[in-house]
Amino acid sequence: MSPEEGDGSSLPAEDVPDAAADIEISDAARATAAALATRARELTVDLPLDLDIHAFGRALEALAPGEPER
CA 70 to CA 56: how far, in whole Å?
Answer: 16
Contact 37, 29 (CB under 8 A): no
34 binds another protein (CB under 8 A): yes
58 binds another protein (CB under 8 A): yes
CA 34 to CA 28: how far, in whole Å?
Answer: 10
Rounded least distance, CB 2 to another protein, Å: 27
Rounded least distance, CB 8 to another protein, Å: 17
11 binds another protein (CB under 8 A): no
Q: What residue ranges bind another protein (CB under 8 A)?
A: 19-20, 22-26, 28-30, 32-34, 36-37, 39-41, 43-44, 47-51, 55-61, 63-65, 69-70
